[in-house]
């Protein structure tokens, strides 16, 4: 029963993340102003804004003008629901489950927004990646919270170095390619991923990101109808984030 509640909570947060993705850097308020249809401007009522359910009932169309609603909305909602559920199950039965769950949920919520924003706009906004890096930095102190012992040897020094090396690595690619192969945003994102996952999960995340990026790149070059070639730029941020997500859930208990 809790599992269902956590999943539903995840889809509601996912719905909010969709709103953040849409309105970030547009000057629109995240709290004020209701949601409207992009095509006809119809103000959406509460029953048209239920995560996933409204999309299914309306068969993915606006009730007034019948224009199609993007698949992005239910996908992000379901994905956030699943991630919330997995995090909850992972930390269940731990004495520190509440703190660890809320912390990890916050981390992945920001990462979802960064990934989709980067896919849509080919840029990683500073505000979001700084927020992520600061949260990720706290992860280096996690043993203080788990053991309730504030001792210097419990500080994750290796994790700190992993993040810094990741940053240096991506920043060099950025410099050498003059911003063409990687953005500086990717370096900032990698810094946070190194701090959050540390050794060895951070390395797994990076390796997975490069493999996934290469596979998708090859796939797009050969199979896509759009004319992709090897010089087309595919944002790397989403792959870093997917790699981090997989590394986190594969080697799941990073708290010990
Ligand atoms: Zn409409």
- Give the mean model confidence (pLDDT) for residues 176-197: 92
- Give the mean model confidence (pLDDT) for residues 172-184: 87
Summarised one tens digit per residue, pLDDT across range 16-36 is: 999 999 988 888 887 777 888
For residue 14, the CA-to-ligand 1 centroid distance in Å is: 22
Q: Which of 45-54, 81-90, 160-169, 213-222 has the highest mean pLDDT?
A: 160-169
* Band of residue 196 on the pLDDT scale cut at 50, 70, 90: very high
For residue 39, the CA-to-ligand 1 centroid distance in Å is: 5
pLDDT number for residue 256: 40
The mean pLDDT value of the chain amounts to 88
Round to whole Å and give the CA distance between 102 and 95: 14
For residue 198, the CA-to-ligand 1 centroid distance in Å is: 46
* Band of residue 179 on the pLDDT scale cut at 50, 70, 90: confident
pLDDT number for residue 231: 56
For residue 40, the CA-to-ligand 1 centroid distance in Å is: 4
Summarised one tens digit per residue, pLDDT across range 134-166 is: 999 999 988 777 777 777 778 889 999 999 999
Summarised one tens digit per residue, pLDDT across range 66-75 is: 999 899 999 9
Is a pLDDT exceeding 90 seen at residue 132?
A: yes
For residue 7, the CA-to-ligand 1 centroid distance in Å is: 29
For residue 49, the CA-to-ligand 1 centroid distance in Å is: 13
Looking at the chain, the whole-number percentage of residues with pLDDT higher than 90 is: 57
Is a pLDDT exceeding 70 seen at residue 111?
A: yes
Is a pLDDT exceeding 80 seen at residue 1?
A: yes
CA nearest neighbour of 182 among 234, 139, 147? 234
For residue 33, the CA-to-ligand 1 centroid distance in Å is: 17
Range with the poorest average pLDDT among 14-18, 57-61, 137-141, 222-226: 222-226
- Give the mean model confidence (pLDDT) for residues 50-58: 91
For residue 69, the CA-to-ligand 1 centroid distance in Å is: 9
CA nearest neighbour of 254 among 213, 212, 196, 203? 196
Looking at the chain, the whole-number percentage of residues with pLDDT higher than 70 is: 94
């Amino acid at each position: 029963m809790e599992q269902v509640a956590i999943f539903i909570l995840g889809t509601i947060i996912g719905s909010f993340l969709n709103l953040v993705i849409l309105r970030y850097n547009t000057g629109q308020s995240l709290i004020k102003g209701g949601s409207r249809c992009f095509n006809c401007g119809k103000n959406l009522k509460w029953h048209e804004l239920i995560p996933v359910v409204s999309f299914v009932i309306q068969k993915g169309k606006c009730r007034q003008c019948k224009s199609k609603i993007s698949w992005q909305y239910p996908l992000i909602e379901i994905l956030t629901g699943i991630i919330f559920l997995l995090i909850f199950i992972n930390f269940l039965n731990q004495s520190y489950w509440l703190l660890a769950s809320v912390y990890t949920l916050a981390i992945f919520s920001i990462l979802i927004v960064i990934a989709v924003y980067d896919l849509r706009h080919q840029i990683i906004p500073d505000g979001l990646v700084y927020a992520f890096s600061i949260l990720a930095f706290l992860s280096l102190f996690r043993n203080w919270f788990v053991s309730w012992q504030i001792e210097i040897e419990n500080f994750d020094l290796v994790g700190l170095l992993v993040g810094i090396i990741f940053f240096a690595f991506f920043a060099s690619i950025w410099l050498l390619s003059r911003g063409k192969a990687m953005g500086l945003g990717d370096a900032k994102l990698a810094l946070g991923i190194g701090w959050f996952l540390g050794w060895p999960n951070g390395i797994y995340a990076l390796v997975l990101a490069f493999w996934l990026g290469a596979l998708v790149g090859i796939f797009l070059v050969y199979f896509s109808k759009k004319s992709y070639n090897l010089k087309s730029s595919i944002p790397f941020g989403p792959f870093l984030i997917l790699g981090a997500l997989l590394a986190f859930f594969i080697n799941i208990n990073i708290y010990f």
